[in-house]
Chains A and B, each alone.
Chain A
Amino acid sequence: GDSVTQMEGPVTLSEEAFLTINCTYTATGYPSLFWYVQYPGEGLQLLLKATKADDKGSNKGFEATYRKETTSFHLEKGSVQVSDSAVYFCALSDQGGGNKLTFGTGTQLKVEL
């Protein structure tokens, strides 16, 4: 079946540091890939997505590129801020799966001054 593997947290960075959160997936067909973010006390929010190979999703300075050859969708940001502290979830939706999502375990990011 489908699965998503993402790096374990927590990840602690200083403000303005470079962020990478790794995500790899296993799926049949050609899934859509997503990164969701959950700020404390709030629901998961869609951060960015990519629907086909080599697509790059971007939002709020975060980027992730759909790499079919390595089945990866790593999340990156060049300079993190304290306000980026949250839990980040990588997810996929199988072709034809509608809004049914398969999630990774989530990675907690803490950014310090």
Chain B
Amino acid sequence: GAVVSQHPSRVICKSGTSVKIECRSLDFQATTMFWYRQFPKQSLMLMATSNEGSKATYEQGVEKDKFLINHASLTLSTLTVTSAHPEDSSFYICSAINATNEKLFFGSGTQLSVL
């Protein structure tokens, strides 16, 4: 079946550094990918919608200069957390829409811890 691979699954970094998270659709083309964030005991919150070859659309309150999204190909979207701070520590998860059948598939998530 269709699989979305998200990497890394867990990352620990120092405050001020940047972290890149990759989201790949392994056996289908994804024209649209979504990035979510979940703080402890809170809901998965949509951060941005990423369309291949165009700029991402960010949800209200999400800093586009801090959370850089690149969707340069039909199988890969990346989220870069720039100059990470402890308050950015969270669970990040991506999802991708199969362009053929419009079904939605999720990655397994990335737990980011900023020290």
Contact = CB atoms under 8 A, between A and B. Distances in A.
Interface residues of A, number: 20
A101 interface: yes
B59 to A, nearest CB: 9
B44 A42 contact: no
Nearest to A104: B43
Contacts of B108: 38, 41-43
Interface in A28-53: 36, 38, 41-46
Interface string A96-110: 000111111110000
A88 interface: no
Given A4-B43, A43-B105, A89-B44, A100 B49 contact: yes
Interface of B: 3-4, 6, 9, 32, 34, 36, 38, 41-46, 49, 93, 95, 97, 102, 104-109
Interface string A7-24: 010000000000000000
Nearest to A39: B108
Interface of A: 3-4, 8, 36, 38, 41-46, 89, 99-106
Given A43-B109, A44-B93, A99 B42 contact: no
Given A43-B105, A43-B108, A100 B93 contact: no
